[in-house]
Structure 1
Amino acid sequence: MLYQRSSALFAEAQKYIPGGVNSPVRAFKAVGGDPIFVKKAKGAYLYDEDDNRLIDYIASWGPLILGHAHEPVINAVIEKAKQGTSFGMPTEIETQLAQLAVSMVPNIDKIRFVNSGTEACMSAVRLARGYTGKDKIIKFAGCYHGHSDSFLIQAGSGAVTFGSPNSPGVTQGTAKDTLLAQYNDLESVRALVEANKGEIATIIIEPIAGNMGCIVPSDEFIKGLRELCTQEGILLLFDEVMTGFRLGKGGAQEALGIDADIVCFGKVIGGGLPVGAFAAKAEIMAHLAPEGPVYQAGTLSGNPLAMAAGLAMLTELDKHPEVFESLAKKTAYLHEGLDAVLKDKGVPYQINRFGSMISVHFTEEPVVDFDSSAKGNNETFKKYFHGMLQNGVYLPPSAFESYFLNDALSYADIDETVEALKKVEL
C-alpha cells in the first residue's frame, strides 16, 4: 500500500502542531514510519487519505463499539446540532443520559458529566480526597488515567517510597502524594497502605488494564483490593473509561462482580464525541459542588451534541445487550485465529483477552503487569504492526495498547485479518 498523501499531510502538520499530532501515540514513534491520516470511516473500516481501506481494531480507542458512523448516533447528533451546539445552561438531555447510565450501571446513584476521561479521573480523585479528608492516592504502574499531574508518576527507589514525576512540569510536591503499586500484586498494595496508615484517600485502577496491553486482574487481586479498601476506609476508584459500557451494561463492575466506590467513564458513553463522567453513591456525590464543597466545573460539560451521541449509543446497547456477547465471541474467534498463525511462525508470544479487548505480546512470559508487558520484543512488534498495515489491517501503533473490537466487524473481516498475519514475516 502507498501512503503518499498521509506522509505529505504529516510533514505539513509538523510545521504547526507539536510532533504533527494532538495525542502522542498517533505519531507512530513506537513503531516508526509516518502516521496514517484518515479521511472517513464506516462500519468496521477506515479509509485513509490515499484511499486505502483498513480493517479497524482501535475503534477510536474504544468508543465506537457499534462501528464507525453508526446511523442512530449520527442522526441524533445531526438533529441536535440543528437546535444549537452549546448553551452553557442545563438541558433535558443531560438528565435523560444520566438516568439511563445510572439504570445500567450497578452501585451508582448519581453521575457528573465532563469532557474527557482525563477530566473524569482528575475530578474523581479530588472528590475522593474531599470526601475522605485524606491526601494520598495509590495508582498502579502501567495504568493510565489521563495526563493530570497526579497520574504522571513513575516508581521511586523502593516498593514503599514516594513516586517521582515522569514528565517535566509535574512538581515533586504533587508526586509525593501519589504512591505506585504493581498491578496484580496485592502485597505491594498492602505494603503501601501499611506504610501510609490513615493517609490514603483512594486506590485508582483500570479494573481491566488497557494501557499495557489488555491485562486481566486475578480474582485474588481484585477481590483483595475491595476487602483492603473496606477495611482501611479507602475509596476504591475504578477507571472504566475503556471498560464502561464495553464489557457489558454494567462494565467491569458487573463483569468482575466487584463494587467500586467511584467509577469513571468515557469513550462509549460519548458515542464518539468528547465525553467523560464520574459516578458514585449519593452520599459521596453529595460532596460535589454546588451541593457540597468539592469544586468541579466545565463550560462544555454536558454539551447537547455529546449528550445526544451518548444517549443514542447507550440506548442501542440497553435495548440490545446481545451486542456484548456477540463482541466477546468475535474477539475469541480472532484470538483463536491469531494464536494458530503465531504458533506456526514459531515466535514467542502471549495473547491476552477479556470481552472485546485483546492484545498480542511478543514475549515468552505471561503478561500480568507493566514489567512483564515491557519485556515484549518491540522489534518483532514493529514488523507485526507494519506487516499487518501493509495488508490492510490497522492495529494500535504501540505494543502497550489494547485492541478494541467493534460489532460491525464480520467474521469475514476477522478471517481476512488472520490471513493478513500469515503474510507477515516476523
Structure 2
Amino acid sequence: MTSTFVFYAVAAMASPYLIYRLAARFQLSRAKHPSLRGHSNLSRRIARLIPFFSYSEHDFFASDGAPPAVQQQRRKAMRGLQANAEQQCAETLAHCRAIQNSVSDVRFTSRYRVPFPYSRQLPDCFLLGSMADETRGSQVRDLDGNWRYDLSGSYGVNVFGYDFYKQCMDEGIAQTKALGPVLGLYHPLIAENVNIIRQVSGLDEVSFHMSGTEAVMQAVRLARYHTGKTHLVRFCGAYHGWWDGVQPGIGNTRKARDVYTLADLSEKTLHVLRTRSDIACVLINPLQAFHPNCDAPSDTALIASDRSNGFDKQRYSEWLTRIRNVCTERGIVLIFDEVFTGFRLAYRGAQEFYGVQADLVTYGKTLGGGLPVGVLAGTQKLMQRFKDNQPVNVSFARGTFNSHPYVMGAMNVFLNRIGQSDIQQQYLESESLWNTRVAQFNQRLESEGLPLQITNIHSILSVLYTLPGRYNWMFQFYLRQAGLELSWTGTGRLIMTYRFTDDDFNQVVERFVSAAHQMQSDGWWWQSPELTNKAIKRQFLVDVLTARFPFLAGRLSGPLATSREKSAKDRVKGPVPAR
C-alpha cells in the first residue's frame, strides 16, 4: 500500500511539470514559421530524401509545355549564348576550367547556379564562374579584357567602390609595412581603430577575428558563457555565416539541438522569448527585413516565379524595438550580425538605421578596408572572457592572425575616411537616392512591357518575376552577356556601391532592359493558360516523386504533363539540333 501511495504521490507531483513542459513545447512549435525552412529537423530529413535527377534534352527546353517552335527558339538562343561566351571569354573560361576540379568552392558554386534538374544539360561555360585582373570605379575586367558593371558587390565588401578600397589597402600597408606580419604584438594603430569602433557601435570593448563567421561564433559563445543558458534564437531564413551552430536550415547537417529557429514578425515568437528560461541570446541579421522568414534569394531556387521580397522599414524597426524590450526584460543578449549591413545602411549601421541598440554587434567584410576581418563589439560585462571569482572558468578565444598589422592599417584608413564630411553627406542622402533610383528603374521596366520588378533595401536590389515561368534562372546569363557581373546567386541579390553615379546606374538599367528584351524574344518567357506558379511547383513535385519512386512513373501527372506530352508528340521529326 505504501508503494502504491508513493507512486500516486510522485505522479501527482510530476503531472503539473509534464503539463508545463508540453505546454512550453507547444508554444515553441507555434512560434516556428509554417514553411519547411522554419522546421530545421524536418527539413534536414526531407532534404536527404530528394534525389538528383536531370531533365532530358527535350524536357530541358520544354519543361513548361512550350510548343516545338518555341523549343527550337530556345535551342538556337542557347547555342548563340554559348558561342558568344566561348568566343568573348576564352581565356577566362580556360583559367576557370583549369581549377574547377581542384577548388572546392568552384565545384559548389558551379553546381548551384541553376535549379539542379537543368544543370547537366547546361553548357559548362554558363556554370563556371569568372576571373578578373583589374577594377575601376564600378566595373570589373575579366582576363579577356571585358569590362562589366559589378553587381556582385564582392559579397558586401564593396560599399564605396574598388578604388576606395585599393587606396585603403595601399595607405594601410604603407603605415604598417615596417612591422610586417608580427603576430601577438599590436601595431599602435589598433588604439585609434578601437576608439572609432566603440563610437560607431555605442559599445565598450572590441575583439578582432579573421572573419564575420568567427565573430558571430565568439558573440554566441560569450552570450552563453555569461548567461549560463544554452539556446540561441535565430529567425527563419536568416544567414549568420557557414558555422553550423547558426546554420540549421534546409540540407545542413547538424546534430546538436541548441538553436531555436523562430518566425520573424510574430507575436508567438515574442511569447516564447518572454516565457522560456533557456534562451541565451537572440541573433538578428538586419538584412532579413528584406525577405522575412525566407532564405536569401538565389537563382538556384527559381523553380517558378514566386520569389517574393520587399522592405517595410517602419514595420521592421518597430519589431526590433519590441525584441529589444523583451530581451532587456528577460536578460537575453541581443546580438546584431552586421557583417553584411555594417557601414552600408548608415554610418552606425543597422543600429542607426532601425534606431535600436544591441548588446553585442559583429562586423566584417568592408571594415577591413579591403582585407579580411571579423570584429565583435560589446558591453564590458559581456566581452569579459573570465570570471573574477572563478579563475579557471574561462571562455578562451584567440586567433593567430587576429589584429594583423596590415589589416589594422587598412582598417584605420577606412575608418578615418568614412568619417570625413563628403562620405557623411553620402550617408545622409543614400537611402533616398537608392529608393528613387529603384522607382525609376521599375517605371522603365513597366514602360518596356517586361515581366520584371526590382525591389530594394537601400543599395541592395533583387529581381522579381511577374509572370509564371520555369526559366527565369536563364536571365543571369543574358545579363552577363550584356555586361553586368553578378555573383553566383544570380539575380536574387544585386549589391551596388556608393560609387555608382547616375550615369553608371543608367548604364546598368539600359543593359538590363536590353538583356530582358533578348530573353523575351528568345522564348524563355513563353506563356500559356496552364502555366501558373502553382502548376509549375506541382509538376516539379511530380518530377521529384517520380525520380525518387520510379514505379510511380505514369501514375502521377502534374498540371503541365498533358501539354508536355503533347509537345513531345508534335515535335519535329529528325535529329535534334546540337546545342
TM-score (norm 1): 0.84
Specify the code of the residue in structure 1 equivalent to 2:131: F
Instruction: Quote the Cα distance in structure 2 between the aligned partners of 1:310 and 1:123.
Output: 20
- Structure 1 residue 125: Cα displacement: 0.4
Match of 1:351 among 454, 457, 464: 454
Closer/same/farther in 2, CA of residues 414 and 75 from structure 1, 3 Å limit: same
Q: Is residue 450 of structure 2 the alignment partner of residue 325 of structure 1?
A: no
Where do 5+ consecutive residues of structure 1 fail to align? 156-165, 365-375
SS where residue 153 of structure 1 aligns?
A: coil
- 1:133 shift after superposition: 0.6
Q: Which runs of 5+ in 2 are unaligned?
A: 1-83, 116-125, 298-308, 521-579
Moved more, 120-129 or 340-349: 340-349
How far apart are 1:399 and its partner, in Å? Answer: 5.4
Q: Which residue of structure 2 aligns with residue 233 of structure 1? A: 331
Partner of 2:530: none
Inter-partner Cα distance in structure 1 for 2:110 and 2:376: 26
Structure 1 residue 104: Cα displacement: 2.3
Instruction: Spell out the pairing of 1:171-320 with structure 2 (5 A cutoff).
Output: 172=255, 174=256, 176-183=257-264, 185-190=265-270, 192-193=272-273, 197-209=276-288, 212-213=296-297, 216=311, 218-287=316-385, 293-319=394-420, 320=423
Q: Contact conserved, 1:208 with 1:215, CA < 8 A, in 2?
A: no
Does the CA-based 8 Å contact 1:338-1:421 persist in structure 2?
no
User: Offset of 1:13 from its aligned partner?
Assistant: 0.6
The number of aligned residues is: 395
Is the 2:317–2:355 Cα contact (8 Å) retained in structure 1? no
What's the offset of the Cα at 1:51?
A: 1.0
Change (3 A) 1:299 1:19: closer
CA distances 1:113-137 after superposition (whole Å, capped 9, x unpaired): 1010100111100011011110101
Matched, 1:133 2:133: no
What's the CA shift string for 1:283-314, capped at 9, x where partnerless?
Answer: 21124699982211101011111111111111
- CA, structure 1 residues 288+27, in 2 after alignment: closer, same or farther (shift >3 Å)? farther
Q: Distance in 2 between matches of 1:325 and 1:227?
A: 28
Identity of aligned residues (%): 25
Larger helix proportion of the pair: 2
Give 2:132's aligned residue: 38
**Deviations, residues 368-395 of structure 1 (Å, cap 9, x unaligned):** xxxxxxxx96732x23322221111123
Q: 1:395 aligns with which of 486, 507, 522?
A: 486
Residue among 252, 255, 268 paired with 1:167: 252
Cα offset for 1:341?
3.1
Q: Are the aligned partners of 1:110 and 1:285 in contact in 2 as well (CA < 8 Å)?
A: yes
C-alpha contact (below 8 Å) 1:240/1:251 kept by paired residues = yes
Q: Where does 1:6-155 land on structure 2 (aligned, <5 Å)?
A: 6-18=92-104, 20=106, 24-25=108-109, 29-30=113-114, 33-70=127-164, 72-79=167-174, 80-106=176-202, 108-154=203-249
Assess, with a 3 A threshold, how the Cα gap between structure 1 residues 399 and 112 changes in structure 2: closer, same or farther. same
Residue 234 of structure 1: how far off its partner (Å): 1.1
**Equivalent pair of 2:172/2:412 in contact (CA under 8 Å):** no
1:94 and 1:329, CA in 2 relative to 1: closer, same or farther beyond 3 A?
same
SS, match of residue 65 in structure 1: coil
| Shift of residue 44, structure 1, vs aligned partner | 1.0
- The residue number in structure 1 matching 2:67 is none
TM-score, normalised with respect to structure 2: 0.63
Structure 1 distance, partners of 2:417, 2:111, is 33
State the match for 1:373 in structure 2: none
1:28–1:302 distance in 2 versus 1, CA, 3 Å = same
1:250 deviates by: 0.8
**3-state secondary structure, aligned to 2:240:** coil
Confirm or deny that 1:337 pairs with 2:440: yes
User: Deviations for 1:62-100, whole angstroms, at most 9, x for unmatched residues?
Assistant: 222221132530322331235313433222122221111
Pick closer, same or farther for the CA change 1:294–1:314 going to 2, 3 Å.
same
Letter in 2 for 1:393: L
Q: Distance in 1 between matches of 2:310 and 2:245?
A: 23
C-alpha distance in 2, partners of 1:66/1:152?
29
**Partner secondary structure for residue 456 of structure 2:** strand
Distance 1:263 1:179, change over 3 A: same
User: How large is the RMSD of aligned CA atoms in angstroms?
Assistant: 2.7
What SS does the aligned partner of 2:463 have? strand
Match for residue 534 of structure 2?
none
Question: Is the Cα–Cα contact under 8 Å of residues 346 and 352 in structure 2 kept in the other structure?
Answer: yes
Q: Which amino acid aligns with 1:8?
A: A
Give the secondary structure class of the aligned counterpart of 1:208: helix
Change (3 A) 1:134 1:324: same
Q: Secondary structure at 2:419's aligned position in 1?
A: helix
Residues 202 and 55 of structure 1, relative CA distance in 2, 3 Å threshold: same
Separation in 2, partners of 1:40, 1:92: 32
- CA deviations 1:379-419 (Å, max 9, x no partner) are 32x23322221111123332585333222222111111111
CA distance in 2, matches of 1:224, 1:25: 38
68-77 vs 300-309, which moves further: 68-77
Q: Against the structure 1 CA distance between its residues 120 and 179, is the aligned structure 2 distance closer, same or farther, given a 3 Å change threshold?
A: same
**Are 2:482 and 1:379 equivalent residues in the alignment?**
no
Change (3 A) 1:289 1:239: farther
AA matched with 2:424: P
- Rg larger for: 2
Q: 1:238-290, CA deviations, whole angstroms, 9 ceiling, x for partnerless residues?
A: 10011111112210001100111111100121112110111111121124699
Q: Distance in 1 between matches of 2:139 and 2:110?
A: 18
Paired residue secondary structure (2:394): coil
| C-alpha distance in structure 1 between counterparts of 2:168 and 2:261, whole Å | 39
Work out the CA distance in 1 between the residues paired with 2:455 and 2:173. 38
* Counterparts of 2:482 and 2:386, CA distance in 1: 50
Look up the SS of the partner of 1:360 in the other structure.
strand
